[in-house]
Structure 1
Amino acid sequence: MTSYLDAVNHRNAATAVSAPNTKRKLDDYADDLSSEYLVSCPVRMRKDQPLPSSPADFHLRSASGASACRSSASSAAACSTSSSPGSAPYAESTRVFGRLQFFVRLLSGGNTLVIHADFDDTVKSIHEKIQVSTGIPVTEQRLIYRGKQLQVEQTLAECDIQNDAGLQLVGRMRSTGYPQAWQLINDMVSEIFVLCKTEYPQPTQRIKKILKEFLGNTPQTDVFKASEYLQIFLLSRAPTALVMLYASPVKANRDCASDSIRLFIVSSKNILSKPIYLQFAPIIIEFCMLLNRAAGTKDPVYCLCRSSLGSIVESVGIGCGVGSDKLLVRMQDIFPFVRELATKISEDLGTSMDSSMGPSETDVRDFIAFMLPVKKVIVDGVASDGKITLPLREERISGRGKYSLCYRDEIKLLHSIFLDLLEKMEHCLKKMEVRLESKEKGETTAVVPGSCQYLAILKELNSIAERFKGAQKIFWEMMRLRKVSFSYLIVRFAKKSDDHHWILKHKEVTNFEARRHLAMLILPEVKDEYEDLHEMLIDRSQLLSESFEYIAHAEPETLRGGLFMEFKNEEATGPGVLREWFFFVCQAIFNPQNALYMCCTNDRRRFFPNPASKVNQLHLEYFNFSGRVIALALMHKIQIGIVFDRVFFLQLAGKEISLEDIRDADPFLYNSCKQILEMDPEIVDQDVLGLTFIREAEELESREIIELCPNGRSTIVTSKNRKQYVDLLIRHCFVTSIAEQVTHFAQGFTDIIGSSELQKSFFQGLDLEDLDWMLHGSETPISVEDWKANTDYNGFKESDPQISWFWKIVGRMTAEQRKVLLFFWTSIKYLPVEGFGGLSSRLCIYKSTESFDRLPSSHTCFYRLCFPPYPSKDIMKDRLNFITQEHVGSSFGTW
């Protein structure tokens, strides 16, 4: 098949992103569609072959000729009938209207009929004369003249039959296994021909009906037969006819062609099975080439065909079709689309920050689809390190570690596309940061325009950069410089369905908001449907044990749907109670008295697994349980006031532990190891320390000697092996001794998140400080001003004395009293890192109608605090002081 590249490369430079194809007016296109196209049609015609001179002479070469070409030598000769090389160009000959004599070569035996007819006789009348002479039915006859099939509606004058001309009679129905398909498509072509000739056409549904019938009869189980069947559509030149109709100056014709092509393209994917649909690619390529020239790259029908082709090549790539020497889709077919789309995206990026429009989703999606097989083909020929070094060598290289240069131009152009789009993206991100700064100052509230496709483009640029040596360094350096805008794109446009591993591996170019957003996308979403929630009814006095029973023994899928929580003998239900449960159960899990976790000496907020946790026979099950609870707390976005130590966090992320990582967990061991490493080598070698490769561990009130390496008791620590000794000691203390506990915690976390790969990605994509903020919340004291700014009033007005008294009383509370009041109000003791603005909704103070001697109440689910209009500040202070006592502030809300 003639490639798409062959038809358009005269307009595109091979080493740069070309200018866009200028859209040609449909009204002007019909006059030259056939003559331009026949040179590069799927059934090739020689370049010296005569071409139609006007739309009236536009006739399609029937594919049945090609079929006969495969079946007999005589028909092959007929298929290739053309003017000889060097002959004078075809032109209108001088006709003497009257009688005409010409010769018709028959199907077999080389016999020839001499036909006499008038110039205004139709081709159909000739078929009838042949039937009289030979007995061959008209329906089984096809006449070929100068390489094209004559249509029955034409006159001999319209066909420009010359006196003494030679015609070839081809019997289609006897030379193909699909006579009905040939008949269908030829009938459709004839119908189109009539519509194009009619001054006031009235298109019917017949064309669409034919197309649906043709698709419906496609063989569905045999790929070879399906490929042969679909070739009928190409060899009959049906795409050319449909596009000619689409190029008609008559609106009715254009609408008919548009509907027909759309139906054919869309229905093919729905009707054909996937292996068969892949054989449809050459037909779509043909439509793309014709529509590109007829209507331009912005035409909606062209875009539909291009997107359909993109989905095919994304699935099948660039590879073989039926027959070992027949490529279904080739690089030459694909790369022009890459060039075209890169040009379009580049232009749109150049204008996106100055208008509300940017690169379209369709263009970006198609670009990515076409790039997938292109990258794969290039990588298949790349050296073992997977990198292409530019400039390319001029000579062809072979052998292991070298790559083939058969796609030299494509490789160069791909690199040019990368540099061009990266430069445009850098400019866009820089302008975006200026706009974001203005937005923070309140100078503009508009969303950054045209940026919804930026993240997808950047992802594809990173993928291209992976193919070229040094390109990724350029890409990620640019992302580091544009960290603010890149992080904004992630938070605003990164979706759960997308693959974000390319970003997670480079978390240094993102901020906390972006990393948290990506981490939350890995976790399941909390469902709102009540019937899907996992219900728990727990006795406060048995909080840990009953919570363990409900969570540890539940199916993970059930827990991912969400939780519904009630405490026994309490009326309160809803999200507020769930937040309260999370806080208290996590406090219990990490309570050192339960021997599951140890807190760090230097930071009592931080915990890591206790090597002696085996005092509890169910300790490993409890670690699995705690992994589930932590994952659920993160999933529900609840701050629990607990954070992990670095040695625990790194192991969950699959990272190694170093000396610096144990500083908080065991400062004594850290300092001792530090001294050993920094000590004078001569002193160490004198065995002053008296150390061997052992560790003395105390477990269950007994001391145990553990060898850190084979024959560790007799291996003395020297200046040469002291680094190894420190590494082994740290590994045993903080990895080996708690390996089972970490594994079970990770498994519990995995139960909620879905897979061990996602579990590792979750922790790898975060810094320890990020996880601190997500689990613990804000480290800063509660700001009364921030609290007040995020509170509304119902029944009260901000100017009421009760509201003024309230904030003055809160302002004079201790930090702990404010935490208790906040917990009473919302079931939240630790605010998000953004403060009150990070809560799911604003807080509200309601005026109640209760008597003044009643204490305030709360509806924690809705962040509501209710109290009556107390008559004095002292009375209000007394009521608030009572509820801010730690033993009172818990579980005081109603719902």
Structure 2
Amino acid sequence: MSSLADPNPANDSRRLASAAAKRKLDDYAPTASDDDDFAADLLSIRMRKDELFSVQHPAFAPASSSSSGRVPWPLTHSPLPPARLAFASRLQFFVRMISEGKTLVFQANSSDTVQSIHDRIQVITGIPVSEQRLIYRGKQLQCEKSLAECAIQNDAGLHLVGRMRSTGHPQAWQIIDDMISLVCRLCKGETVPYALKTIKTRISEYLSMTPKDDGDPATGHLQIFMSSSAPAALVMLYISSIRGNKECADDSIRHFLDSCINELPKSLRSRCAPIVLEFCKLLRRSSSDDSLYLSCRSSLGSMLELIKVSWIVEHTESVKRAISIPEIFPFVSELADRLSKDLELSLYSSASVGTWSDVLDFTMFLRPLRTAIAGHKGFKHPISLPLKKKHHDVLMCTEEVELLYQIFEEMVQKMIKCLIGIEERLSAKVGGEIDIAHPGWSRYLTILKELNAISKLYLGSEERFWTILSTRKRALCMLVVRYAKRNDDHKWLLEHKDIMDFESRRHLVMMMFPEVKEDFEEQHEMLIDRSQLLSESFEYIANAEAESLHGGIFMEFKNEEATGPGVLREWFVLVCQAIFNQENPLFVACPNDRRRFYPNPASTVEPLHLKYFNFSGRMIGLALMHKVQVGIVLDRVFFLQLGGYSISLEDIRDADPYMYNSCKKILEMDAEFIDSDALGLTFVREVEELGLRRVVELCDGGKGMVVNSKNRNDYVDLLIKHRFVTSISQQVAHFAQGFGDILSDLRLQKFFFQSLELEDIDQMLHGSENDISVEDWKAHTEYNGYKASDPQIVWFWKIVGEMSPQQKKNILFFWTSVKYLPVEGFRGLASRLYIYKSTEHLSRLPSSHTCFYRLCFPPYASMAIMQQRLSIIAQEHVGCSFGTW
């Protein structure tokens, strides 16, 4: 198997196989044995196609087959001009057996009687003449009349209706036959009033008659469109050189596609896939860049999600929903070629990588192909290449399996070059040389996602694929942050979170939250009394419908003018600090890190403790959703359980240092010493609840099980499990439920935490650990009414620079309602900061508009006066409710 990193450019097998795949798409009609009913049916259908295509486009004439035991396709017959039809002594015409869905081909003299045709039908089918009726142009033919007297023309189509057997869909046959007759008239140059409207009406009537149950009646009904050669007729009209025909056919075929997708139920939509596949095969012969072909290809791709892709189709009397891999693969090969060329071009120009249609079609055709390959029991999965000879001898489609891997290899190499190009541009951007914006980059993530999916099929390919991407980490992370969209599937990236940085992981998990809406009418409104902050906030949030919290929050403190985002940020910080306050029994702070918390096993002293844990989960989720750093972080034992992970000894180091050290000593003790029972340990644990101590068995019969050198690992595991899992399982579950309520999908709750490192959630909830940099602060501040050189601005920064870290935090909180800066510092805030010159009296204190990060103060007369004013607002208890908006 060739290496991803070292492809062989001299190997022509990829190109040869690709050409073979394209030939498969161009190879319109299969052949079959004479005694095969399906072959006879297909042959008669093909004859109708020959009739249609011989009119306008010789490129569509079918190739003959001379293989032994095969039925050769007949030569095409150009219809005679109307003026010469009367003189023709020899006729060829078609008799469609409605009850069987087959078409018989007859040759006869124009003087032959209708009775003679009935006799020949009886010989072929066994249907008694007395039970036959021949219909032509809506009228039954009289037996005693000649074909000339009945005005039977060369290549005419007759219907055979049996009295004993009848089709289940006679009206549908008639509708489609009328449509085809109209198309043939247009192709012959006749002027037909309201032709387009009539064709579209017939298509709508035909589809509206489709039986609504997804069974044989629906299949038989839709089969009529294929058996009557309607796709060939419409494509014949599309390639016609007669003025107006192309536009008429284009509109009609698009009407069929739209009607299938928009008007039929999903279950029936899939039955139209073989018809759309037929359109694709016919149209592609003209041009693979034809706009109508591209529309048909996209429609087929969307239908593939609803059908089963098999290794080979079993041809029976009714069309199955399955489409074979050989029918799907040519589209994959075609699209891969297009995208590969575009990737190559994107290295040297700013051209876009394909159209979104090409990229989306590539994913739609690949998905069922991968599913079919992965589900094939003939291979050992993942597949080891090259395939052994026995696979080629026994299994179908081995060529496609090998060719798909070659497509994967080639596109990976192209993507590597593209990622290197991105990194070169990023490096140049640092020097200020060029703008890194590039329209083609928006396609890269989608292509990489599909390559990742293909890699899972082949042994060793997934590991090598991600090893390669890890060497291009900088480019990958840039693509994620800039181009990953909210509605995309990001699971494939987050499953490999280790090769991404914090910024890209944060970007992806934040899209698991609903987008915060600014529409006031959709926001959840709250009016909170500061003196009842926790209890009233609990009532508003815990009792709200989860959906109502997705639209955003509008909150206001009672008897205060300030409203808006600044007040909301303040509320988040204050409520979270109250929830985790150690005077409340909900959470326990870690002895080694007082910022970290995990659920308190003794929280049952609060009757509503489980509802409060649900409320706490909602509050943390909302804080993350609104990008507010609240200064609270979760302990490792809590974080791991939210992600569905088990807890090990090393994980409890911060939560319970005493238990950690004790367990560590037990595991490291000399075996003889612990076997002597000197410690007197059994599989029990003492628990204190409401001031009372009780003994709990860690397992059945734990009181009688002595800890020794052989079972001490089990003892430590059970001790940790009881202390940090069993005793707080309900609290964790309710917190997780509340957190999940805030996500776009509750089922993402565990995956959210699995997608992050503990350090990531620390930075998202707590923010920067660094002291506030005054220089960074100044660099992100602008002025209105003041200039940077004004004495008041110079004094301000000098005073702030000499403040303590806590005073700086208080000033920032007063100014912005941001108590904890994002990990990026001031660059991570939603806006730049502003200092405004106010017209207030010089005796007034500074004020702020926290929503707009705006600080206002008058032009104080001296630095001493300004320092006295700033020292007041730098006090923590003052830094609240000064904001106006």
Is 1:781 aligned to 2:791, yes or no? Answer: no
Is 1:214 aligned to 2:208, yes or no? Answer: no
Q: Match of 1:792, SS?
A: strand
Q: Match of 2:554, SS?
A: strand
The superposition leaves residues 843-885 of structure 1 with CA deviations (integer Å, 9 ceiling, x where unpaired) of: 1111111111111100111111111122222222221111111
Structure 1 residues 128 and 181: CA distance shift in structure 2, 3 A: closer
The superposition leaves residues 98-125 of structure 1 with CA deviations (integer Å, 9 ceiling, x where unpaired) of: xx9875774312499xxxxxxxxxxxxx
Structure 1 residues 221 and 28: CA distance shift in structure 2, 3 A: closer
Aligned pair partner of 2:719 in 717, 721, 729:
729
Q: Match of 1:594, SS?
A: coil
Partner of 2:305: 314
Partner of 2:252: 260
Is 1:590 aligned to 2:580, yes or no? Answer: yes
Aligned pair partner of 2:434 in 439, 444, 456:
444
Structure 1 residues 128 and 880: CA distance shift in structure 2, 3 A: closer
8 A Cα contact 2:267 2:306, kept in partner: no
Superposition deviation, residue 408 in structure 1: 1.5
Superposition deviation, residue 697 in structure 1: 3.0
Q: Match of 2:556, SS?
A: strand
Partner of 2:357: 362
Point out where structure 2 has 5 or more consecutive residues left out of the alignment. Answer: 1-12, 27-52, 86-90, 123-135
Q: Match of 1:522, SS?
A: coil
Partner of 1:303: 294
Partner of 2:326: 332
Structure 1 residues 330-729: aligned runs within 5 Å: 330-354=324-348, 355-382=350-377, 386-395=381-390, 405-729=395-719
Aligned pair partner of 2:266 in 274, 289, 293:
274
2-structure distance, mates of 1:429, 1:363: 20
Q: Which amino acid in 1 is paired with 2:300?
A: L
The superposition leaves residues 730-777 of structure 1 with CA deviations (integer Å, 9 ceiling, x where unpaired) of: 222211222222122112212222655311011111110110111001
Superposition deviation, residue 821 in structure 1: 0.6
Structure 1 residues 710 and 150: CA distance shift in structure 2, 3 A: closer
Structure 1 residues 134 and 482: CA distance shift in structure 2, 3 A: farther
Is 1:47 aligned to 2:47, yes or no? Answer: no
Q: Which amino acid in 1 is paired with 2:540?
A: Y
Partner of 2:868: 878
C-alpha RMSD of matched pairs (Å): 3.8
Aligned pair partner of 2:834 in 836, 840, 844:
844
Partner of 2:88: none
Q: Which amino acid in 1 is paired with 2:119?
A: G
8 A Cα contact 1:432 1:448, kept in partner: no
Superposition deviation, residue 637 in structure 1: 0.9
1-structure distance, mates of 2:572, 2:329: 55
Q: TM-score, normalised by structure 2?
A: 0.84
Superposition deviation, residue 204 in structure 1: 6.0
8 A Cα contact 1:19 1:343, kept in partner: no
Superposition deviation, residue 825 in structure 1: 0.6
The superposition leaves residues 215-237 of structure 1 with CA deviations (integer Å, 9 ceiling, x where unpaired) of: 32332325544443443433333
8 A Cα contact 2:345 2:351, kept in partner: no
Which deviates further from its counterpart, 354-363 or 252-261? 252-261
Q: Which amino acid in 1 is paired with 2:282?
A: L
1-structure distance, mates of 2:784, 2:24: 62
Which deviates further from its counterpart, 202-211 or 638-647? 202-211
Superposition deviation, residue 192 in structure 1: 4.3
1-structure distance, mates of 2:560, 2:810: 20
Q: Which amino acid in 2 is paired with 1:395?
A: K
Superposition deviation, residue 181 in structure 1: 4.9
Is 1:32 aligned to 2:23, yes or no? Answer: no
1-structure distance, mates of 2:253, 2:735: 57
8 A Cα contact 2:523 2:552, kept in partner: yes
8 A Cα contact 2:57 2:239, kept in partner: no
Structure 1 residues 189-204: aligned runs within 5 Å: 189-198=180-189
Sequence identity percentage: 51
8 A Cα contact 1:18 1:343, kept in partner: no
Q: Which amino acid in 2 is paired with 1:346?
A: S
Count of residues paired in the alignment: 815
8 A Cα contact 2:21 2:329, kept in partner: no
Superposition deviation, residue 172 in structure 1: 7.5
Superposition deviation, residue 452 in structure 1: 1.5
Structure 1 residues 252 and 143: CA distance shift in structure 2, 3 A: closer
Q: Which amino acid in 1 is paired with 2:786?
A: F
8 A Cα contact 2:64 2:74, kept in partner: no
2-structure distance, mates of 1:11, 1:441: 41
Superposition deviation, residue 641 in structure 1: 0.4
Aligned pair partner of 1:108 in 102, 118, 121:
118
8 A Cα contact 2:22 2:330, kept in partner: no
Structure 1 residues 230 and 553: CA distance shift in structure 2, 3 A: closer
Superposition deviation, residue 569 in structure 1: 1.4
8 A Cα contact 1:189 1:241, kept in partner: yes
Superposition deviation, residue 203 in structure 1: 8.0
1-structure distance, mates of 2:528, 2:304: 56
2-structure distance, mates of 1:176, 1:140: 24
The superposition leaves residues 695-716 of structure 1 with CA deviations (integer Å, 9 ceiling, x where unpaired) of: 2333332332222223323322
The superposition leaves residues 816-855 of structure 1 with CA deviations (integer Å, 9 ceiling, x where unpaired) of: 1110011001111101111111111111111111111111
Superposition deviation, residue 47 in structure 1: 2.7
1-structure distance, mates of 2:24, 2:295: 17
Point out where structure 1 has 5 or more consecutive residues left out of the alignment. Answer: 1-9, 83-99, 113-125, 152-168, 399-403
Q: Match of 1:695, SS?
A: strand
Q: Match of 2:388, SS?
A: coil
The superposition leaves residues 607-649 of structure 1 with CA deviations (integer Å, 9 ceiling, x where unpaired) of: 1112222222222221111111111111111110000110110
Q: Match of 1:350, SS?
A: helix
1-structure distance, mates of 2:284, 2:534: 68
8 A Cα contact 1:639 1:774, kept in partner: yes
2-structure distance, mates of 1:139, 1:516: 82
8 A Cα contact 2:199 2:252, kept in partner: no
Q: TM-score, normalised by structure 1?
A: 0.83
Structure 1 residues 872 and 293: CA distance shift in structure 2, 3 A: same
Aligned pair partner of 1:240 in 232, 236, 248:
232
Partner of 1:85: none
2-structure distance, mates of 1:827, 1:426: 45
Structure 1 residues 463 and 170: CA distance shift in structure 2, 3 A: same
2-structure distance, mates of 1:195, 1:554: 65
Which deviates further from its counterpart, 883-892 or 45-54? 45-54
Superposition deviation, residue 396 in structure 1: 5.3
Superposition deviation, residue 206 in structure 1: 0.6
Partner of 2:132: none
Structure 1 residues 612 and 250: CA distance shift in structure 2, 3 A: same
Partner of 1:70: 100
